[in-house]
Amino acid sequence: MFTFTGFVQLALVKKIYDLSKSTAGVRHKWSWAALAMGNTGGHTGSMRIPPGNGPHQVGCTDLMVGHTTEGTFLRLFYPCNTHEDSERPEWIPSQEYFNGLADFMKINRSISERIFNYLFGACKIPAFWNASFKPCGKCPVVVFSHGLGAFRTLYSAICCELASQGFIVAAVEHSVNPPHLNQQWMYHRPIKPGESEFPLRNKQVKQRADECIRALDLLIEINSGSPVENVLRTQFDFSTLENCMDLCKIAIMGHSFGGATVIEGLCKEGKFKCGVALDAWMFPIDEEIFPRVKQPIFFINSEKFQWVGNILRIKKLDSAFIPRKMITIRGTVHQSFPDFTFLTGNWLGKLLKLKGDINPNVAMDLCNKASLAFLQRHLSLERDFNQWDPLIDGKDDNLIQGTNITVPQSSI
């Protein structure tokens, strides 16, 4: 089962669908490319998910274990060997993702399928599918948690960068509970009139943290050499990962609702040595857990998403003894972290708030370098990521130390 909800970039389909209805019966000769991409044309080679900048090629595979509510589903990114037959996987892994989004927005599936296939059907992830693992010493581990309306492939730029730098990354697909061998798709349940949202979201963030912990437990089993029965039966040989992970160097990372999952996960599992929260949505978290979070946390925010109440909750995690850092990337929006920011043209991207004023490659580069510097510092990595230490303190023309939000001193 997979969870979908309304995230802002999907307004794209609704807008195009509404326009197609408003012009029904009129024989205009407009193209999908001009409508969808504005001044940049259709999906071209220049509109792609950027590859990792590290010294390693990146491989990826999917792993699903268990057929109950205690099951685990994740996409694994890792340093790899490549050969001529290596293929790059599709960014949208299944047609059902398109159908689920269409049903959620109550639009015709056949029309949405045309639009999604035009926009993203040819998009590939810059990694090699089921490529063999490349031993490169003990790899640190990152568990990644996606946003509320996302899924495991939507942050491939970040995951590929980490894997290219020698990390093993488990991008969790949340709310995956496959009964038997048949996939079932669970669509978003909206808040009912008069229903309090916090109990629902709080329950979800606890479940998501548990799913991240189960993903970590699965990686620990693989590292120990225990055989895994992959329901998906991919060709990747998981036994090659035996004793290749550094289980003393594990971090958790996530965006938006996934940023809240980072905080919840750190509270629940001490094996996570630090966390990176990208534009964290703090609402789902019970503040009572804050004193129990003992690990370093790095908050990387966009300029346009945050507000006073959210920043105040982040600041409640400040500590005189535990490193808690926060920076803001100038010119960014909430959707500057998922891959959509690279795959839509400037006009449409800004209209739908998928792009900010900053070049998305510059923003992602800052995010990745700052994250790597923070991970080196708090996982005690012997790498050269400390060259980017100044970014942790916001020392760049495109960064703000702390937040751009003015918080009244009386509120702190």
HEC-encoded secondary structure of the chain: CCCCCCCHHHHHHHHHHHHHHHCCCCCCCCCHHHHHHHHHCCCCCCCCCCCCCCCCEEEEEEEEECCCCCCEEEEEEEEECCCCCCCCCECCCCHHHHHHHHHHCCCCHHHHHHHHHHHHCCCECCCEECCCECCCCCEEEEEEECCCCCCCCCCHHHHHHHHHCCCEEEEECCCCCCCCCCCCCCCCCCCCCCCCHHHHHHHHHHHHHHHHHHHHHHHHHHHHCCCCCCCCCCCCCHHHHCCCEEEEEEEEEEECHHHHHHHHHHHHCCCCCEEEEECCCCCCCCHHHHHHCCCCEEEEEECCCCCHHHHHHHHCCCCCCCCEEEEEECCCCHHHCCHHHHCCCHHHHHHCCCCCCCCHHHHHHHHHHHHHHHHHHHHCCCCCHHHHHHHHCCCCCCEEECCCCCCCHHHC
Residue 24 lies in a domain: no
**330: CATH:** 3.40.50.1820
Domain holding 378, by residue range, is 8-19+34-190+199-407
Rounded average pLDDT over 365-384: 98
pLDDT band at 113 (very low <50, low <70, confident <90, very high): confident
Average pLDDT, the chain: 86
- pLDDT tier, 47 (very low <50, low <70, confident <90, very high otherwise): confident
What pLDDT does 106 receive?
64
Give residue 29's pLDDT.
36
Q: Which of 116-125, 127-136, 149-158, 272-281 has the lowest mean pLDDT?
A: 116-125
Q: What is the pLDDT of residue 183?
A: 53
- From 279, 336, 339, 378, the catalytic residue: 279
Whether 40 shows a pLDDT value over 50: the answer reads no
Domain annotation covers residue 283:
yes
As a whole number, mean pLDDT of residues 39-51 equals 63
Q: 334 catalytic, yes or no?
A: yes
pLDDT at 350: 85
pLDDT range class, residue 290, cuts 50, 70, 90: very high
Q: What does the pLDDT look like over 158-168, one tens digit per residue? A: 999 999 999 99
Catalytic residue among 256, 302, 336, 371: 256
Residue 311 lies in a domain: yes
Q: Would you say residue 33 has pLDDT above 50?
A: no
> Do residues 380 and 283 touch, judged by C-beta distance below 8 A?
no
- Residue at 26 is within a domain: no
Q: Assess if residue 25 is contained within a domain.
A: no
Q: What is the mean pLDDT of residues 245-259?
A: 98
Q: Residue 92: what pLDDT?
A: 87
Is the pLDDT at 86 greater than 80? The verdict is yes
Kindly tell me if the per-residue pLDDT of 69 is higher than 80.
Answer: no
Q: Among 14-18, 153-157, 201-205, 335-339, which is the least confidently predicted range?
A: 14-18
Burial class (CB in 10 A: 0-12, 13-18, 19+), 154: buried
What is residue 67's predicted lDDT score, i.e. its pLDDT? Answer: 64
Q: Which of 11-25, 85-99, 226-240 has the lowest mean pLDDT?
A: 11-25
Q: What is the pLDDT of residue 282?
A: 98
Query: Based on the structure, what is the number of domains in the chain?
Result: 1
- Check if 112 is active-site: no
pLDDT at position 11: 52
Is 13 a domain residue?
Answer: yes
How far lies 146's CA from each of 46, 154, 225, 271, 322, in Å? 25, 8, 28, 20, 25
Residue 37 has pLDDT above 50, yes or no: no
Whether residue 281 has pLDDT greater than 50:
yes
Examine the residue annotation and report whether 217 is marked as an active-site residue of this protein.
no
Domain annotation covers residue 302 = yes
Q: Is residue 2 domain-resident? A: no
Better pLDDT: 163 or 24: 163
* Residue 261, pLDDT above cutoff 90: yes
Q: Which of 46-60, 193-207, 360-374 has the highest mean pLDDT?
A: 360-374
- How many CB atoms are closer than 10 A to CB 194? 5
Average pLDDT (42-71) is 84
pLDDT at 381: 98
Q: Identify the weakest region by mean pLDDT among 79-88, 315-324, 380-389.
A: 79-88
- At 354 the pLDDT is 85
* Lowest-confidence segment of 35-49, 164-178, 182-196, 234-248 by average pLDDT: 35-49
Catalytic residue among 56, 146, 255, 334: 334
β-pair type (274-278, 297-302): parallel
